[in-house]
Amino acid sequence: MEYRSLGRTGLKVSPLCLGAMMFGAWGNRDRDECIRIIHRVLDAGINFIDTSNNYSAGESEEIVGEALAQRRAQRDEIVLATKVWSPMGEGVYDRGLSRKAIQQQVEASLRRLKVETIDLYQTHRPDPTTPLEETLSALTDLVRQGKVRYLGCSTNHYEGPGPWEKRFAAWEIVESLWLSERNGFERFVCLQPPYSILRRTMELDHFPMARKHGLGNIVWSPLEGGWLTGKYRRGQANPGDTSRAVNWVGDIENPKFERRKDIVEKLLPLAEAKGIPLARLANAWALRDPAVTSIIVGPRTMEQLEDSLTVPDVEITAEDAAAIDLLVPPGTSAL
């Protein structure tokens, strides 16, 4: 397995990162199978696991913690990442990035993960109700207390009125680096942005900024919620096999899905010509960008995981990239 430096750090991570969002009530409710998936990942040489305090109300962290407790001999080789910000209850400090919220949430994550230190602690979204200086100061304290080793931030690709729709713009991330340098705070070492064939907006500002300032990129949703697996196709019903399919996608005949269905139908022959599934092509395409350190693969089943393990071996040729550029031009979004 090839390992890469995460930004300008000595932290070495695999090009595939196991995303644990589908472990628990949001996806696979079979804990034993989820643990087997985690063990298979470790056996394959993947050393990077990403979860969040809010995935399945903390159940994902519990499953990861249980799996790692069974593999204590490997713990020092594993890079464990989780996040803070998301609502974990109705209390005013059950969410957000205030000092009090961060201090409470990190203790809960440490308990669920059964560890003394989290390797990479990330802010899940910006918190406009809290000064960034307070957030960075609180996170710096966690590093100096030995509860966290490195800091990162996750962001969205668009901005809207909802709490999950706050976008961490490239200039705001640069501002965070300036605040860290000015005040002696620990700095963010990486971003966790969305990136896929269907969603390439990060190529405009975030990726160039990250490369200039030495930030790694751990990209999420390279399969765009199943769209880039061929699961949703023109003329076929939504399989409705997951809560995401039912609640997030719903009626695939909705006119808003027309362009992405067109793109999927044109991508499928490209994958077939290479003799691989569309999901493997889409993951390999996301990994090929020099700004990308690692892609998050979020399998719900062992079968899905096995397909992902060979992604680093897939070559995206110049001809492949050019064909995809014609479908979704660089820096644009088809969503």
> Looking at the annotation, which residues are catalytic?
55
Strand duo 12-13 + 4-5: pairing: antiparallel
First to last CA, the chain: 33
Decide if 82 contacts 122 (C-beta within 8 A): yes
Alpha helix (H) ranges present in the chain?
31-43, 59-69, 99-113, 132-144, 170-183, 206-213, 243-244, 258-274, 278-287, 302-308, 318-327
Decide if 88 contacts 94 (C-beta within 8 A): yes
Using the structure block, give the residue that is written with the tokens 């034993």.
Answer: 32
Helix (H, G, I), strand (E, B), or coil: what is residue 238? coil
Give me the count of residues in the chain.
Answer: 335
Using the structure block, give the residue that is written with the tokens 């990330």.
Answer: 122
DSSP annotation string for 147-172? SEEEEEEE--SS--SSGGG----HHH
Q: At a CB cut-off of 8 Å and minimum separation 6, what does 80 contact? A: 49, 64, 68, 113, 115, 118, 119, 120
